């Protein structure tokens, strides 16, 4: 009997050991399976993240600055960057068009903009920029109010570690990422070539009225230099007699200036202007004085819809179109890309000027109507 009980005890003990081993083995198998699942999930997550990163990088490097209308490339920012935008003077029609183009592109890309107006005063500009810097902007998009004095605003941004992108006007000094805009002297060259053409057609010494913008304003100075350099280069500088007067890019002032000059003498062959608002003001005076067949409204710069309408109607001969979408939408697009990590951006990105006559009016009108109306 004792032997039987002893045998039963040994059998029970063996069964307990076997059960324990089975349970432990099952637990180990489950743990190993779970680890395998974790490894698979991690690998899948890494692959997905890598694929997403690759897609984003491909997207932000997709803008080709050499292509026509590159600034129209659809783009979404990687996050809601805060970009401070400083304009020279939004009371000027062209600058207002720049503002509209910036706003449209910013909305498309999903970036926040804080806008300020220097009112063509570098002291106001600097105060505005300092205010923007206090609001912790990620980048300053600057249209400098002065070629030299705007350096104070640039250096303030540099000191704060905020990158600067110039658009339309590139001020001197300080560090900047890039400049997106037109070479303003080119507009003067194109206007100058128009006068050369007229002088050859008339084959005489011409008398012209030159409507200048704001005294000391960068764009005005450079355009005038371009006009006069062209006449000198072509050897007809002595065959054009000028009456020059500042009309501050204002339509009302230009009308009064033209009226004052033409009331003293109607012996003029043409009028040119450094901005479309001024040529429109001059046109009003010329029409009121019934001189439209004698004094040619020959050329200006910008491409306002009203001027384009008058070119179509034969009242104005030409204008030099500068593209507000190219300069402003292009400027904020490049700024956003730089913030997104694209660093291989050219130091200067040119948006070419284009002479507008009756021959290409419809093409330019389509662009102008988007940003001026």
175 and 211 assigned to the same domain? no
Instruction: Please say whether the beta carbons of 264 and 237 come within 8 A.
Output: no
Which domain range does residue 225 map to? 184-321
pLDDT for 54 equals 27
Q: Does some domain include residue 148?
A: yes
305 and 338 assigned to the same domain? no
223 and 308 assigned to the same domain? yes
Q: Is 26 exposed, middle or buried (0-12, 13-18, 19+ CB in 10 A)?
A: exposed
Quick check: 236 pLDDT over 90? yes
pLDDT-wise least confident of 8-17, 50-59, 313-322, 345-354: 50-59
pLDDT for 45 equals 35
Quick check: 87 pLDDT over 90? yes
Domain boundary among 278, 304, 321: 321
Q: Does some domain include residue 38?
A: no
118 and 143 assigned to the same domain? yes
Q: Does some domain include residue 75?
A: yes
Q: Could you tell me the CATH number of the domain that includes residue 78?
A: 3.40.50.2300
Q: How far is CA 328 from its chain centroid?
A: 2
Q: Distance between terminal CA atoms of the chain?
A: 113
Quick check: 10 pLDDT over 50? no
Q: Does some domain include residue 34?
A: no
CA distances from 293 to 55, 104, 206, 297 (A): 61, 41, 16, 10
CA distances from 303 to 90, 166, 356, 357 (A): 16, 22, 8, 11
343 and 315 assigned to the same domain? no
Quick check: 323 pLDDT over 60? yes
Q: When comparing pLDDT for 50 and 283, which is higher?
A: 283
Residue 62: band (very low, low, confident or very high) from pLDDT cuts 50, 70, 90: low
Mean pLDDT of 6-16: 41
pTM over cut 0.75: yes
Residue 203: band (very low, low, confident or very high) from pLDDT cuts 50, 70, 90: very high
128 and 206 assigned to the same domain? no
330 and 317 assigned to the same domain? no
CA distances from 175 to 51, 127, 130, 166 (A): 35, 19, 16, 10
User: Closest Cα partner for 144 from 155, 153, 135?
Assistant: 153
pLDDT for 106 equals 98
Tally of structural domains, the chain: 2
232 and 315 assigned to the same domain? yes
Q: Does some domain include residue 370?
A: no
What tokens appear for 152 in the block? 């104070």
pLDDT-wise least confident of 10-24, 283-297, 356-370: 10-24
206 and 313 assigned to the same domain? yes
pLDDT tens-digit profile of 171-188? 899 999 999 999 999 999
What's the rounded Cα separation, in Å, for the pair 94 and 161?
Answer: 30
pLDDT for 371 equals 85
Q: What's the chain's average pLDDT?
A: 86
293 and 342 assigned to the same domain? no
User: Closest Cα partner for 319 from 228, 230, 190?
Assistant: 190
* Three-state secondary structure string covering 157-213: HHHCCCCEEEECCCCCCCCCCEEEECCHHHHHHHHHHHHHHHHHHHCCCEEEEEEEC
């Amino acid at each position: 009997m004792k032997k039987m009980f002893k045998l039963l005890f040994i059998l029970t003990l063996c069964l307990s050991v076997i059960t324990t081993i089975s349970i432990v083995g099952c637990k180990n198998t489950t743990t190993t399976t779970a680890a395998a699942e974790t490894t698979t999930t991690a690998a899948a997550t890494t692959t997905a993240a890598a694929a997403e990163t690759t897609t984003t990088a491909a997207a932000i490097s997709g803008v080709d600055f050499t292509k026509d209308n590159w600034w129209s490339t659809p783009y979404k920012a990687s996050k809601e960057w805060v970009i401070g935008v400083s304009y020279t003077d939004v009371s000027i029609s062209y600058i207002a068009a720049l503002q509209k183009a910036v706003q449209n592109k910013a909305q498309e890309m999903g970036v926040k903009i804080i806008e300020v107006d220097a009112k063509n005063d570098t002291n106001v500009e600097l105060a505005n920029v300092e205010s923007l810097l206090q609001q912790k902007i990620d980048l300053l998009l600057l249209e400098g109010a002065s070629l030299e004095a705007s350096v104070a605003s640039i250096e303030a941004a540099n000191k704060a570690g905020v990158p600067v992108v110039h658009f339309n006007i590139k001020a001197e000094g300080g560090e900047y990422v890039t400049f997106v805009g037109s070479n303003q002297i080119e507009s003067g060259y194109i206007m100058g070539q128009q006068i050369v053409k007229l002088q050859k057609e008339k084959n005489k010494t011409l008398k012209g009225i030159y409507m200048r913008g704001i005294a000391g304003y960068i764009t005005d100075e450079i355009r005038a230099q371009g006009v006069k350099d062209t006449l000198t280069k072509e050897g007809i500088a002595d065959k054009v007699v000028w009456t020059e007067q500042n009309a501050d890019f204002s339509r009302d002032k230009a009308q009064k200036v033209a009226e004052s000059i033409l009331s003293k003498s109607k012996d003029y062959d043409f009028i040119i202007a450094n901005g479309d608002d001024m040529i429109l003001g001059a046109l009003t005076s010329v029409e009121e004085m019934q001189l439209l067949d004698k004094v040619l409204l020959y050329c200006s710069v910008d491409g306002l819809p009203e001027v384009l309408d008058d070119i179509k109607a034969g009242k104005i001969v030409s204008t030099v179109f500068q593209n507000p979408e190219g300069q402003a939408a292009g400027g904020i697009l490049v700024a956003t890309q730089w913030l997104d990590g694209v660093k291989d951006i050219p130091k200067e990105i040119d948006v070419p000027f284009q002479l507008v006559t009756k021959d290409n009016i419809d093409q330019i009108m389509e662009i102008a109507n988007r940003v001026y109306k």
